[in-house]
Amino acid sequence: MTAAPAWLAPLVAAVRDVRAADLMPRVGDPDENVRRSAVLALFGETETHGPDVLLIQRSAHLRSHAGQPAFPGGGVDETDDGPVGAALREATEETGLDPSGVEVLAVLPDLWVPPSANVVTPVLAWWREPSEVGPADLDEVASVARVPIADLVDPANRLQIQHPSGWIGPAFRVADMLVWGFTAGVLDRLLDLGGWTRPWDQSVVEDLPEDVLALALRQRRAVQGREA
């Protein structure tokens, strides 16, 4: 088994004692019967652009998380081996990656995400032997991108997004995507913990684009319908 590279070591060390509150502000506790999901925060490296992370953009036709950039992932099934099994299975189904080339480094704390009524467990992994990836099912995934860390920490690609509710959070403009919400929040913290963050202008705050907001509101209505 190939060890994770030296550039990942600070992040791996930092997440050993990380708490949920270190990754996401506390916003209340979930119900006992809440849905559980897992996502794969998969870090790799290429000769051309160096260290990177795998992201997808979900199809605009989905009922949940429509059109949103995200880590690969989805619901934890009874047949999965917990969040690790779910994260690897979902990533394989969504991007076609070969899970045998992925080395799991850590399971991060459960995070409660009220907009989707999910408890999400991020699984940190090293892409030891990268495989070809792309949208494995266009009904679910519109695109797949290996996003260089250099692009994510470039101050020119960083901003904050404001939701009409008043919520403000970090965002990234990378790989023809606006990464915001849960994924951007976790990415922001992982970049900090890994020691990669560069100073950026946090006074740059933009409203959530109308087309993105429309898709987000569709999900909120779906969640409210399940709770009714």
Q: Where are the domains of the chain?
A: 6-14+31-227
Residue 175 to residue 93: CA distance in whole angstroms: 21
Convert the pLDDT of each residue in 21-55 to its tens digit.
999 876 666 766 788 999 999 999 999 999 999 99
CATH code for the domain defined by 6-14+31-227: 3.90.79.10
| Maximum separation of any 2 CA atoms in the chain, in Å | 51
Residue 50 to residue 33: CA distance in whole angstroms: 42
| Residue owning tokens 């949103």 | 68
Bridge partner list, 57? 69, 143
| Contacts with 143 (C-beta within 8 Å, 6 or more apart), sequence order | 56, 57, 135, 176, 177
Element (H, E) at 120: strand 118-127
Residue 95 to residue 105: CA distance in whole angstroms: 20
Convert the pLDDT of each residue in 99-115 to its tens digit.
999 999 999 999 998 87
- Res. 224 pLDDT band, cuts 50 70 90: very low
Q: Token pair for residue 111?
A: 């995070």
